[in-house]
Structure 1
Amino acid sequence: MLTLLFRSVALGCIALLITACTQIPQLVENTTIAYFDERGNNISKPSPRGSYRQLLKIQSNGYLVQSFFVNTNTKQTDPFIIHNKEDLTAIDPLSIDGFFVQWHRNGQKAGSGHFINGKRQGTFTEWTEQGTKWAEMQFENDLANGKANLWYEDGSKYIEGQYLAGKEEGEWRIWQQNGPIRFKATFVQGSIISAVDANGKPINLSKDDFTTK
């Protein structure tokens, strides 16, 4: 279930891009309402490497739910609100609202960010299973907008740049691991206008070299 936060940010740990719906059972508080395999697909019974979702409470503003890992019964998410009933069994609920926190299977925090009516708003952060922060981005109305940063697993800086209305804008930089800057690129509305290496020599780069979303 990891990566509701950045969705298509190159985060191998998150699979919330998949939306899978099943028939919703009769709703009873403090019961399991859905099972998912490790890829985020709906399944009819628990899978050792999968997860399950519980309905904690039916509220006036929606449904308070929480997801757990099957093999450990430890939390995969903190409790969160889903507004629409039809999203209760979806791995990527579109009507999520409020602050959302995800956890790795080993108990380390995986990611966090705020949603308003299913859209990302503000700062979204992701951590590795070792507890190191490795991605942080700003969103506005579900579009990347503002600073974007990625780090290597050892915590050293990897990528730094900025988005404007969902597109790369201005100067972006990539560092060597535990070392100096490898190269820089200037973007205008998502397109690379120019790029140089660490010595200022012009080079050819593609957007794939700056993948963050």
Structure 2
Amino acid sequence: MNNADSASQSVQTMYAERFATDLTDNRAEQKELTAQIERLRARLAQLRADETWLTGMQAALPGETAPPRPRRAPRTGEKPAEDDTPSGTPVPGPRPAGRAKPRPSRAKAGGSRAATATAPLHQLIRALMPPGEPRLVREVHADLTEAHPERGTSVQVVRNTLETLVKRGAIGKGIQKGAAMYTATEPAPSEGGTARMPG
């Protein structure tokens, strides 16, 4: 009976630790995604404001009576901003016209990062780990920060995610010179396979 009770307690402890780690990882990723959503909403609001200003400036040019493609028609809430600006009156504003030039490149950069903004963190980390190369947590965190600076992930979140990947059998873990080393044993699976990795 004592052996059975001890084994039962050991199993319960193992599952409790696993659930605690998974829960911490889950909450950390929720927090990270929430911050990403807020940043994307702020960026979208800025782009809409810039579009309103640029449309007004375009309408103020000689010979310009209306934008070539009235894309803003569905946005009924913002139509008065265009209607209130006479086509023959220059639109005053503190912004120099040159500020509009770097916007497209920043928008393209934001668009290229849209995929990583919603990609699971474990998928990004797994993709950055070459097979057979032991990596420290801080090394994985540095690679992630360099490859995906928009994620803004902490070292602790990376550590939790690596531990989760170890529990799922996606990567291996060993101790070298007193430090935990994480190693990918095979190439990273496709996005679909990683996203559906069993918990």
Q: How high is the TM-score relative to the length of structure 1? A: 0.21
Structure number with larger C-alpha Rg? 2
- Which has more helix, going by share of residues? 2
Q: How high is the TM-score relative to the length of structure 2? A: 0.22
- Which has more strand, going by share of residues? 1
